A = this chain, B = another copy of it.
Amino acid sequence: MATIYEVSKLAGVSLATVSRVMNNNANVSDATRKKVTAAMDELGYRPNSIAQSLASNCSNSVGLLVSELQGPFYGPMMSGIENTFRNQGKHLIIAAGHSDEEREKQGIEFLISRNCDGLILHVEAVSDDYLIKLSKGRTPFVLINRYISELSDRCILLNNIKGGYLAAKHVLEQGHKNIAYISGPLWKQDAKDRLEGHKQALAEFDLEFDENLLFQGDFMEASGYEGLKALHQQTHPFTALICANDEMAVGAMASARDLGLTLPKQLSIMGYDNVFFTRHVYPQLSTVNYPIDEMGRMAADWVLNHVYQKQTPPLQTLFEPELIVRHSISRQSAQITSQG
């Protein structure tokens, strides 16, 4: 691989000049610029970005930590981020944290040790304190889907309370009065918020939340399956089930079929996230849109703005969910399920 030295030799200029034309910033005369680029072409020169990073203390790469590389949720996020950066000549180093504290920390340290100029973190297991401490360090970062009041300007969030509200309101408007709920792990803020919004909608309809109709899941499909099974065994009746995400909703749908329930006639099911496969399940799942791709792009913009001092569209940290009505909620004109 040709180095800057060989280029400078061939072009008959100094190292510094070659470096200057590469970074086309300083004033270099057109004549020398031409000589140098010609030499570069001739040698097929490619700058060694590692050396550039070391010398300039800027790696032009940003680190992204996600929980999982797979799954319908992270794909669009990564894709949105990658797209934004590619257009700016910045690059992505990706690590996975697997929702495990140790691995999340490892991931972050790796990304920092690789001289990432900035970080985009989607972390769940690591503590607020850790992140606050991290924010004092030299590597700027932005958080997706996590709120820490001390770091509020760098938290990109969905209004989950509103989302929970929207979902419940829709179901209520279809006439359902007894609504079961499968939540996420309630130590997670988003799970808590979604449930809170749910309760708000209930209150608005003068309905009380029935704790017996709550099952705490873990956002994974299996817990949706188990959740509905458990809810079905207790005695309080319900005509609709709202799940705190689509994966659990799909699990619940499978469960419903195993229990012999016709969907959506005997049980209405509502999801959350609007993951792409919700259109393909049967019946098509009504859900709440989580604009994760946009939020990813916004996180990328944040980095562009704060780390690389680029002009970006105005930054926005709070995103609004949107109700997606499909065919999994039936109209409920009257109470049809008998008590207990």
Chain B residues within an 8 Å CB radius of A289:
none
Q: Which residues 53-90 of A sit at the B interface, judged by CB distance below 8 A?
A: 53-54, 59, 61, 68-72, 74-76, 78-79, 82, 86
Instruction: Indicate whether A93 reaches chain B with its CB closer than 8 angstroms.
Output: yes
Instruction: Indicate whether A50 reaches chain B with its CB closer than 8 angstroms.
Output: yes
Chain B residues within an 8 Å CB radius of A1:
138
What is the count of identical protomers in the complex?
2
Chain B residues within an 8 Å CB radius of A69:
75, 78-79, 82
Q: Are A91 and B72 in contact (CB under 8 A)?
A: no
Chain B residues within an 8 Å CB radius of A68:
75, 79
The stretch of A22-30, A112-120, A172-180, A330-338 in contact with B is A112-120
CB distance from A98 to the nearest CB of B (A): 9
Number of interface residues of A (CB under 8 A): 44
- Contact partner, A75, options B71, B138, B280, Cβ 8 Å: B71
Instruction: Indicate whether A166 reaches chain B with its CB closer than 8 angstroms.
Output: no
Q: Which residue of B lies closest to A283 (CB)?
A: B282
Q: Which residue of B lies closest to A138 (CB)?
A: B1
Q: Which residues 12-33 of A sit at the B interface, judged by CB distance below 8 A?
A: none
**Can you pick out 7 interface pairs between chain A and chain B where the beta carbons lie within 8 Å of each other?**
A46-B112, A71-B75, A82-B95, A92-B94, A93-B93, A277-B280, A280-B280
